[in-house]
Copies of this chain bind each other. A is one copy, B any other.
Amino acid sequence: MSSTPHESQTFSAESYFETQPQPPSLLADIEGVHEFIERQRQANRSVVLVTSGGTTVPLELNVVRFLDNFSAGTRGATSAEYFLKAGYAVIFMHRQFSLQPFSRHYSHSTNPFLNFLEIDAALPSSSTIDSAFPYSNDPPPTTPTPQITVTTAERTKLFSVLRAYKAVHAQGTLHMISFVSVNEYLWLLRAVSREMSVLGRKAMYYLAAAVSDFFLPQQRLSEHKIQSGKGNLSIEMDQVPKILKPLVSEWNPEGFIVSFKLETDETILIPKAQQALERYGHQVVIGNDLHHRKYRVVLISPVAQADAAKKTDGVLEPQPKYAEFWIEIDPDQPSNHPKEIEEDIIEELLKRHNAWIEGS
A355 at the interface (CB under 8 A from B): no
A218 at the interface (CB under 8 A from B): no
In the complex, residue of chain B having the shortest beta-carbon distance to the beta carbon of A99: B97
A319 at the interface (CB under 8 A from B): no
Comparing A17-25, A29-37, A163-171, A297-305, the segment that makes contact with chain B is A163-171
A65 at the interface (CB under 8 A from B): yes
In the complex, residue of chain B having the shortest beta-carbon distance to the beta carbon of A150: B148
A122-150 interface mask toward B, CB cutoff 8 Å, 1 = contact, 0 = none? 01000111101111100000000111111
In the complex, residue of chain B having the shortest beta-carbon distance to the beta carbon of A222: B1
Q: How far is the CB of A119 from chain B (nearest CB, A)?
A: 6
A230 at the interface (CB under 8 A from B): yes
A67 at the interface (CB under 8 A from B): yes
Q: How far is the CB of A210 from chain B (nearest CB, A)?
A: 7
Residues of B within 8 A of A156 (CB): 145
Number of interface residues of A (CB under 8 A): 102
Q: Are A134 and B164 in contact (CB under 8 A)?
A: yes
Q: Are B67 and A65 in contact (CB under 8 A)?
A: yes
A318 at the interface (CB under 8 A from B): no
Q: How far is the CB of A101 from chain B (nearest CB, A)?
A: 10
Residues of B within 8 A of A62 (CB): 264, 290-291
Q: How far is the CB of A10 from chain B (nearest CB, A)?
A: 9
Q: Are A119 and B59 in contact (CB under 8 A)?
A: no
In the complex, residue of chain B having the shortest beta-carbon distance to the beta carbon of A96: B108
With contact pairs A225-B265, A235-B1, A264-B225 given, residues A134 and B161 touching in the complex (Cβ less than 8 Å): yes
Q: Are A224 and B264 in contact (CB under 8 A)?
A: yes
Q: How far is the CB of A219 from chain B (nearest CB, A)?
A: 12
Chain A interfacial positions (CB closer than 8 Å to B): 1-6, 8, 56, 59-60, 62-70, 72, 81, 84-85, 87, 97, 100, 102-103, 105-108, 112-114, 117, 119, 123, 127-130, 132-136, 145-150, 155-168, 171, 173, 210, 212-214, 216, 220-228, 230-239, 262-265, 290-291, 337, 340, 343
Q: 5 A–B contact pairs at CB < 8 A?
A: A3-B226, A5-B232, A103-B112, A127-B167, A233-B235
